[in-house]
Structure 1
Amino acid sequence: MSAKAKNPKTWWVTSIVVAGAAVASIAGVGIQAYVTERGLSHPEVVSAHDVTGSFAAAEPQAEVDNGQLGALIADKATDPRLGSFTGVVSDTSTGEQVWSVNPDEQVRPASATKLLTAAAALIALGENDQLTTTVHDDGSGTVVLKAAGDVMLNDAQLDSVVEQLSDTPVEAVAMDTSVWPDEPFSPKWNKDDIAGGYIAPMQPMMLNGARIGAEYGDVPRSTTPAEDVAQALAKKLGVEFVGAAEATGPAVASVSSEPLAVRLHTMMVHSDNVMAEAIGREVAVHTGYPATQEGSREATLAVLAEHGIDTSGMEMVDNSGLSTDNAISAAAFVRVLSTVASDPALRPLLNALPVAGGEGSLSARFGGSSGEGWVRAKTGTLTNTAALAGLIPAENGHTYAFAFICNDASVLPARAAMDELASSIRSF
C-alpha cells in the first residue's frame, strides 16, 4: 500500500446525513439521534428511522496518509477477541486498499450476506419496485388470492381487499402460490429455527413474515404462511377457505408492497432472513431463474457479475446468510460497498444500512465511541461468528468501505473489538 493516497480527480465521496446518537438520559428516554451533515449541524432530534443518507459528487479531498491508517488498523487487528479474523479496508475516494488480512479467504459471513442480496435487488429491480398481490374472481363465487412474493402483507391490507370486494359475491377463498416452485425449506437450514423465529417455510405470501402474534422480531413463525393469509381473508369475508386453485378470472382486488428501497431498509435493520430470501426469489423471477433457493443464489451472483462486481470464489448457498455453509471473502463485501460510492443504482443501499447507535442491530452498539452515528454497516451473527461490513466517512474527508469477519470467536467480545476498529477509522 502506498504511503499517501492522492485524489487527482473528482471522486464520489460522502455528504452523508447520518444519525449522531444522543445517549439515553438518566430519566430513561429512548435512544434518539442527532442528524448531522458534514460541515453542518442540525440541532433537531429525530428517531432512528427518520435518518436518511445519500452520496453526492464532491471536489477532490485533501491528501491523506492512508499508510498511517493502515498501520493503525493492523495494530488493532491483532486483538485476540477477533478470533480467526479476515478483513479489508478500502478508501472509496481513491480506490486504494488501505489494509487487509486474509482478504480473499472464503469464510462464514452470517447475515452480512444480505449485502449481496440487497445490491443485486437494486441492480435488477430498481429502488421503486413493488410486488402486487391480486384477487381473482373465477365467476362461481370463489375468489382466488394470487401470491406475488410479498412476505410482509398485513392486516390492514387484507381489510383493503375486503373493501374492494364489497360488490363481488364471494362464497369461498382459494389461493394460487404458483409464482414460486414448491420448495419451502432449504436442506441447508435447521427446522428448529422456525420455532426460534429466524426463518419460515418460503412460500410467496405471508403475514408479517409469518410471525405469530408480532410484526417484527425473532418470534416463532408459522409453518403454513401462505395458507394463513388465505384463511385470514376468508375469515374477514365470513366464508370458507377451499385450498389451492389457479387464478384465471379477472382481478377484482389488489394490494401492493412497499417500494424495494423501503423493504431493503426493513430487511437490513432487522436482519430479517425471511425478507432476504423472498427478495432473492424476487430477483430470480425478474431475471428468469427458478424462484428456488438455488435459483435465487444463482440469480444474485449473475446480476452482480454482470454489473462488474467480481463474485469469483464465493460459496453463496442462500440469500440471508442463515446457512453455516456460506463462504464469502471480506474482499467481496468491500467490492460491493465500494461500488455504492460510484454507482447511482446502488446508492440506496447506503440508506438501508443500520446506523451505529441508532437503528436495529446496531442500536445498542458503538455507544459513546467516535463511530456512533457515523458508521453505517450490516451485522452478521451465528454461533462463534460475528461480522460487520459497511461505510465510514472519516474525519479526514475520505470515505472508507470495510468488512470485518470473525470466525471461531466469542460473539460479544468480537463485536466490541470490531466496533473499536471501525471507530478508529472514523477518527482518522
Structure 2
Amino acid sequence: MGDRHQQRMTRRRQIKRRWRVALAMLVAVILVVGYACMDLADLVPGPLTLSKTSHSSVPPAVMMGEPPTFTANKPGSAVDAGQVQQLVNAFADTPGIGNAYSLVVRQADGRVLAQKNADQARQPASTMKTLTAAAAASVLDMSSQLDTEAVLNSSSSSQATLTLRGHGDMLLGAGKDDPLHVNGRAGLGTLAVKTAQALHKQGIGRVTLAYQDTLFGDDRAPKGIEENNADGIYFQEPVAMAVDEARQGQTEPVAYPDAGGVYLPRVQNPAGAAAAVFASRLMESGIQVDNAQEPNRIDHAQGKVLARISSARLSEIMSLMLRNSDNSLAELFGRLTALALDMPNSPAGAVKAVTSTLNKLGVDTAGLNMADCSGLTPGSSLKVGTLVDVQQLALSEKGLTPLVKGLSVVGLTGTAARREIDNQADGLIRVKTGTLDQVTSLAGNVIRRSGGVLVFAVVVNDPEDVAAAQQAVDTLVGSLDRL
C-alpha cells in the first residue's frame, strides 16, 4: 500500500508541475502577443508599426548624379546661351577679380555657349594635371600596376646579396599590404615575409641588402620648382620606390592614408629609406641583414626575383593624384608616359611626351607652355580652350575614363569637398582645382538638372582680392547645373 500511495502522490506532483509549466508558457505567449499588438498600434515603443514611416533610421545616401561618361550623349533641353552670358557678365563685374582672367563654357558636343578672354594664355596652377592625366591615360595601360621586387644574387660563395628593385611605386606601405587603400596597397612588410620564406627554403638566413633606384635617371626635378616648394613639402621628385611618398614625421599609422592635404618634409634618400624599412621587416621575419642601417645603392640588380608586391592599378593612382592634387604623382605619370614613348628620361622629356600626345588626341595646344607636369613650377601657361578640350575629350573617349572618375566632386570629395559652391549642386559638378598665391582656377564638367553635360574652365591670375576671385569662380560654376 505504501508503494502505491507513493506512486499516486508522485503522479499528482508531476501533473501539477506540467500544469504550472503550461500555464507559465501560456502567460508568456499572451504577454508577447499582447505587446506585439500594442507595438503595432504604436501604444508602446518598438520596431513594429502599421503606420507609414516618414523617415528612415539609416542616413540617406548622398546622390552624386549619374557619371558624366554615361550622360554626355543625352543632350537634355537646349541651353540658352544668353543665360550663360549673363552669368559670365556677372562674374566679370565682381570686384576684386582684376583683369587677368579667362573662361569658357561649352556643351559636351563642343558648342561654345560663352567665353571671355579665351585667347589669352594664363598660368593654370594644378588644372595642368588634367593635361598630364589625359596623356598618361591614353598611353599607359591603366589597369597595370607598379611592382617592387626582391632580387637574390647568390653567386658569391661567402654571402648572398638581396636587392630591392623598384618600378615607380612611391606609395609603398611600411607594413602589410593594405587592400583598402591606394597609399600602402603594396606593403614592404608583406614583401619581407614572402622573401624570408623563399630564403629559408634555400637555406639562407643571412644577406647583404642593396637597392636599385635608376628608373628615372639623374635628372628628376623640374627647374624652378623649388620656388613653389617651400621646405620640400609640396613635391617629391620621382623615385623608383618610396614609402608614403617619402614623407617624414608620421611615426604612427594614419586612419585615412589616401587623404590629401598632408604636407611634410621629405626624407633625403627615399629609395634608401624604403630599403632600410625593408631590412627591418626582413629581420623581424628571421633574416639577418648585415647592413640593415645603410643598404648599398647599386645600378643593376642581378639574380632571381624571389618575391614581389604590386601597387594599386594606375587608374586608382591617377584618381588619387587628381582628387588630392598630388604634384609628385602628376610628375610620376609624366615620367612614366615619357618612358613608354621612348622620350628623354627627364622632366623636359615628360613635358614633351604629354604635349605630343595631346596633339595626337586633337587637343588645341596653341599657347601651351608646360614648365612641369603638375602646374606647381612657375612659368606654365595655357589657354582655357586647352583645358576644355581635354574635358570634352575625356567625356567622349572611354580610354580617358580614369580622368573623369578622378575629378574631385564638389561638396563631397577631394580638394573641392569644401569649396563654397551652391550646395544644391553638390554631386553634380566634377572639377580639378588649381590654387597658387596668385592663381585660382577650375576646370571640369557639370551635369545639368534638365539633362546633358556642360564643360568649362576658369582661370584667374593676379586677382586684386584672392578670396573674392575664388568666390566669384565658385558662384559662376555653381550656377551652371541649373541652365
The TM-score with structure 1 as length reference comes to 0.84
The match for 1:108 among 106, 123, 127 is: 123
2:430 maps to 1:414: no
2:62 maps to 1:34: yes
Offset of residue 81 of structure 1: 3.2
**Counterpart for residue 31 of structure 2:** none
**Counterpart for residue 300 of structure 1:** 354
Distance 2:115 2:75 in 1: 25
The match for 2:335 among 263, 277, 281 is: 281
Distance 1:276 1:288 in 2: 19
* 1:154 counterpart letter in structure 2: G
**Counterpart for residue 83 of structure 2:** 68
Distance 2:420 2:161 in 1: 54
2:163 maps to 1:147: no
**Counterpart for residue 394 of structure 1:** 448
Retained in 1: the 8 A contact 2:318–2:402?
A: no
Offset of residue 195 of structure 1: 2.6
* 2:101 counterpart letter in structure 1: F
Give the 5 Å matches for 1:196-345: 196-214=232-250, 215=257, 216=260, 217-238=262-283, 239=289, 240=291, 241-345=295-399
**Counterpart for residue 119 of structure 1:** 134
Offset of residue 34 of structure 1: 0.6
Retained in 1: the 8 A contact 2:72–2:452?
A: no
Offset of residue 117 of structure 1: 0.8
Distance 2:165 2:68 in 1: 36
**Counterpart for residue 189 of structure 2:** 159
Distance 2:398 2:298 in 1: 42
Distance 1:419 1:150 in 2: 35
Retained in 2: the 8 A contact 1:284–1:295?
A: yes
Secondary structure in structure 2 of the residue aligned to 1:55: helix
Once superposed, what is the RMSD of the aligned Cα atoms? 2.1
Secondary structure in structure 2 of the residue aligned to 1:171: strand
* 2:119 counterpart letter in structure 1: D
Change (3 A) 1:206 1:251: same
Offset of residue 104 of structure 1: 2.6
Distance 2:319 2:107 in 1: 25
Distance 2:336 2:352 in 1: 12
Secondary structure in structure 1 of the residue aligned to 2:349: helix
Higher helix share: 2
Retained in 2: the 8 A contact 1:318–1:326?
A: yes
Structure 1, unmatched stretches of 5+, are: 1-30, 39-51
Distance 1:340 1:192 in 2: 29
* 2:62 counterpart letter in structure 1: Y
Identity rate of aligned residues, in percent? 30
Secondary structure in structure 2 of the residue aligned to 1:319: coil
* 2:191 counterpart letter in structure 1: V
Q: Deviations over 1:130-153 (max 9, x none)?
A: 211222111141111112111111
The more displaced of 185-194 and 162-171 is 185-194
Offset of residue 396 of structure 1: 3.0
Distance 1:138 1:260 in 2: 30
Retained in 2: the 8 A contact 1:194–1:200?
A: no
The match for 2:479 among 420, 424, 428 is: 424
Distance 1:32 1:219 in 2: 36
Q: Deviations over 1:64-90 (max 9, x none)?
A: 322332333233233233332111111
Q: Deviations over 1:142-195 (max 9, x none)?
A: 111112111111123101111111222351211112221112333221178263
* 1:66 counterpart letter in structure 2: A
Distance 2:373 2:467 in 1: 24
2:91 maps to 1:91: no
Distance 1:33 1:325 in 2: 43
Higher strand share: 1
The more displaced of 144-153 and 234-243 is 234-243
Flag the structure with larger Rg: 2
Offset of residue 209 of structure 1: 1.1
Secondary structure in structure 2 of the residue aligned to 1:285: helix
2:438 maps to 1:384: yes
Secondary structure in structure 2 of the residue aligned to 1:82: coil
Distance 2:149 2:163 in 1: 8
Distance 1:290 1:317 in 2: 15
Change (3 A) 1:36 1:320: closer
Distance 2:73 2:459 in 1: 31
Secondary structure in structure 2 of the residue aligned to 1:263: helix
Distance 2:269 2:298 in 1: 13
Distance 2:447 2:377 in 1: 32
Retained in 1: the 8 A contact 2:363–2:389?
A: yes
Distance 1:53 1:179 in 2: 36
2:224 maps to 1:188: yes
The match for 2:144 among 120, 129, 132 is: 129
**Counterpart for residue 18 of structure 2:** none
Secondary structure in structure 1 of the residue aligned to 2:424: coil
Offset of residue 373 of structure 1: 2.1
Retained in 2: the 8 A contact 1:194–1:221?
A: no
Offset of residue 54 of structure 1: 4.1
Change (3 A) 1:57 1:189: closer
Secondary structure in structure 1 of the residue aligned to 2:235: coil
Distance 2:96 2:427 in 1: 24
* 1:181 counterpart letter in structure 2: G
Offset of residue 224 of structure 1: 1.5
Offset of residue 57 of structure 1: 6.4
Retained in 2: the 8 A contact 1:147–1:204?
A: yes
